Structure formats: structure tokens, C-alpha cells
């Protein structure tokens, strides 16, 4: 049983719970995410896209890990544990989002291949314009409980593509243009945005749930262990995909972080924009956003003490 607004709510009714979120608050979240994407992209250059051709194996493994293996293994995990439909849909959306905007900072901290991380983030953000709505529609339609939810919502994939272009694609392009034409400003600003992005994202989540804190506290215990398992699955997927491909330990760390750190901020905005703040989805995305910072930092600190020669 759940408690919501003083009333007991059966587990199966979690799918019907929606979080209150005003248009003004959504606008603020849109601006925050756009600023984060702009700040991260200040260090991106056209060469970062071209650099992928210099290490094709690592690039292909990184892209496949994030955009094929993670959504597939997420689908298998959902079939195995059979969570509530709204929770399952939240897991699918998180897996379909591009890499998180702190992955480059964490990769650098972990002594991974920062250049590869930056390149994968850049390409991943561009690919997500198409892959995020495509993966969500595909995997949700293959799982009967979530397929029913999609039919009720009538998800407009093209409208979602436009939203991702606005929130991620355009800030990415503007940041790269700023880096090209105003390199001094870009270098100075980008120096602060990465460590601050962790604080900004936490504030981002708090803002999203400022009017729904009781809902979050009443329901989050239902997804805590699930998000732990899902995030661990993502990190292990990236690590073992790179290891099985025979990549260096530095690249293994990089691809693990790129796969395990997802842009759940974008996921939250899509949930409030297209799914009316569906409770199960929003709680999964919010808790993932908090936990992947904890797990990512912990793993990065651990790896920062390891030598590449220690890898088996």
C-alpha cells in the first residue's frame, strides 16, 4: 500500500499517480537543462566528431553499448522482474536517453580516455534526437503492460524529436559555435561548469519535486533497489562490452561511465512534457539522477587509484 495525500493507494494504482508540475516550473527546467547542455558543449569541437574515426573500435563499442545493448538489457531486466508499467516505462526512457552531462568529468576523474568520452557524448547527444523516441516506442510496444500505457498517451514521436532538438541539439550547436568563435570565454566558462553541473542537477531534481516531495518520499522506496540494479547493469554493460572487445583499461572505464551515466534530466522533462508527470516514470528518473552521481563518483574515485597495468 502507498500513502498519497493522506489516502492509501494500492501498488497497482501507482501507474495512475501524476505529479503536479506547472508550466512555469517546466519552463525553468527547460532553461536549466539547456544551459547545462550549452556549458558542456563549450569544450566540444568538430575534431571531437572526427576523432572517433581515429579509434573506430572503441567508438563503435561505445555507441553500441549505450544505444543498443543498454536498452536491450533493460528490456530483459524488465521481463525478469515485472515492475509496474509506469516504472518499466521510466526504466526504458532512462535507458533511451543520451549520456549524462557529467560523464566527461567523471571519466577524467577516473583516469579514463577523456577525449573518447567527449566524442561519445557529442555523437550520443546528436543521435539521441532520433534514438530516444525510437527506442522508447520500440521497447515499450514490445512489452504488453507498457504498450497499453503508450496507447493511452498517444505518444507523438515527432514532437518528442522537436523537444530534444530544442533542449539538447540547439544548445550543443550554440556551445560549439561559441567555442569556435570565442575560445577564451569558452575555456574560462567550461572550467567551472563541469563540477557545478553536479550541484545544478541536484537543484534541478529538487525543483522538479518541490511541490511533490511527499509523493516522492512515499514512493521512492519502491524503486531504490531497482534503480541500483539498473544502474549497475548499465555500468557493467559498458565495462564488459569494452573488455570483450579487447579495448584498453582506460577505454573500458570510459565506456562504462558513458553507458552508466544517463541524461535523466532530459528524461524528467520528457516525462512532464509528454507523460503528464506519470508518477512511476518520474520517480525512477529522479532517483536515477541522484544515484548515478553517487555511483559514478564512487567508481571514478576507485578507478583513479588503479593503474592500467592492473587490469586483467
pTM: 0.82
Residue 179 domain flag: yes
Residue 198 lies in a domain: yes
Q: Answer whether residue 13 is part of any domain.
A: no
Contacts of residue 228, defined as CB under 8 A and 6 or more positions apart, other chains included, come to 291
Nearest residue to 51 (alpha-carbon basis) of 131, 128, 122: 122
- Which pLDDT value is given to residue 271? 86
Are 281 and 89 contacting, i.e. CB atoms less than 8 angstroms apart? Answer: yes
Does residue 10 lie in a domain region?
Answer: no
Does some domain include residue 117? yes
Q: What is the pLDDT along the chain (312 residues), one digit of tens a residue?
A: 233 333 334 444 555 555 565 566 667 777 777 777 777 777 777 766 666 677 788 989 999 999 999 999 999 999 999 998 989 999 999 999 988 778 888 888 898 888 888 888 888 888 888 899 899 989 999 999 888 877 666 667 778 888 888 888 888 888 888 887 888 888 777 777 766 766 776 776 676 666 666 666 666 677 888 999 999 999 999 999 999 999 999 999 999 999 999 988 888 888 888 887 777 888 888 888 888 989 999 999 999 887 544 544
CA 230, CA 91: separation in Å to the nearest integer? 8
Cα(223)–Cα(248) distance, integer angstroms: 34
Whose cell is 554493460? That residue is 237
Cell 572517433 belongs to 52
For residue 209, tell me if it sits in a domain. yes
- Quickly tell me which residue has 561548469 as its cell: 193
Please give the torsion angle defined by the CA atoms of residues 26, 31, 210 and 229, in that order, rounded to the nearest 10 degrees: 90
Residue ranges making up the domain that contains 29: 19-305
Quick one: which of 229, 245, 253 has its CA closest to 74? 229
Inside any domain, residue 14: no
If one counts the domains in the chain, the total is: 1
pLDDT at 9: 40
Model pLDDT, residue 210: 65
Q: What is the pLDDT of residue 5?
A: 33
CATH code of residue 253: 1.20.1530.20
Please, are residues 226 and 137 in contact by the beta-carbon 8 Å criterion?
A: no
CA distance 159 to 156: 5
Q: Return the ∠ at Cα 123 (arms to 154 and 273), rounded to 5°.
A: 25
Helices and strands in the chain, H and E counts: 16, 2
**Position 53 in a domain:** yes
Amino acid at each position: 500500500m502507498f500513502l498519497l495525500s493522506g489516502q492509501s493507494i494500492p501498488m497497482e494504482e501507482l501507474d495512475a499517480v501524476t505529479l503536479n508540475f506547472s508550466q512555469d516550473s517546466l519552463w525553468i527546467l527547460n532553461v536549466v537543462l539547456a544551459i547545462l547542455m550549452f556549458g558542456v558543449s563549450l569544450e566540444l569541437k568538430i575534431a571531437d566528431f572526427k576523432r572517433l574515426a581515429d579509434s573506430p573500435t572503441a567508438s563503435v563499442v561505445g555507441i553500441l553499448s549505450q544505444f543498443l545493448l543498454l536498452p536491450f538489457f533493460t528490456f530483459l531486466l524488465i521481463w525478469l522482474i515485472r515492475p509496474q508499467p509506469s516504472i518499466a516505462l521510466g526504466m526504458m526512457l532512462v535507458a533511451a536517453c543520451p549520456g549524462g552531462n557529467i560523464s566527461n568529468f567523471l571519466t577524467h576523474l577516473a583516469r579514463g580516455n577523456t577525449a573518447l568520452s567527449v566524442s561519445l557524448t557529442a555523437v550520443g547527444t546528436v543521435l539521441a534526437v532520433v534514438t530516444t523516441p525510437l527506442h522508447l516506442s520500440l521497447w515499450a510496444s514490445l512489452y504488453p503492460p507498457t504498450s497499453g500505457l503508450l496507447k493511452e498517451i498517444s505518444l507523438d514521436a515527432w514532437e518528442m524529436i522537436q523537444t530534444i532538438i530544442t533542449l539538447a541539439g540547439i544548445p550543443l550547436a550554440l556551445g560549439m559555435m561559441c567555442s569556435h568563435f570565442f575560445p577564451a570565454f569558452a575555456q574560462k566558462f567550461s572550467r567551472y561548469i563541469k563540477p557545478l553541473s553536479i550541484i545544478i542537477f541536484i537543484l534541478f531534481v529538487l525543483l522538479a519535486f518541490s511541490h511533490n516531495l511527499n509523493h516522492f518520499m512515499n514512493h521512492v522506496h519502491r524503486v531504490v533497489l531497482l534503480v541500483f540494479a539498473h544502474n549497475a547493469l548499465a555500468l557493467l554493460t559498458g565495462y564488459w562490452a569494452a573488455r570483450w572487445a579487447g579495448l584498453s583499461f582506460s577505454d573500458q572505464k570510459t565506456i562504462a561511465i558513458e553507458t552508466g551515466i544517463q541524461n535523466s534530466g532530459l528524461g524528467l522533462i520528457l516525462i512532464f512534457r509528454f507523460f503528464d508527470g506519470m508518477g512511476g516514470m518520474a520517480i525512477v528518473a529522479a532517483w536515477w539522477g541522484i544515484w548515478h552521481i553517487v555511483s559514478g563518483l564512487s567508481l571514478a574515485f576507485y578507478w583513479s587509484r588503479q593503474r592500467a597495468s592492473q587490469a586483467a
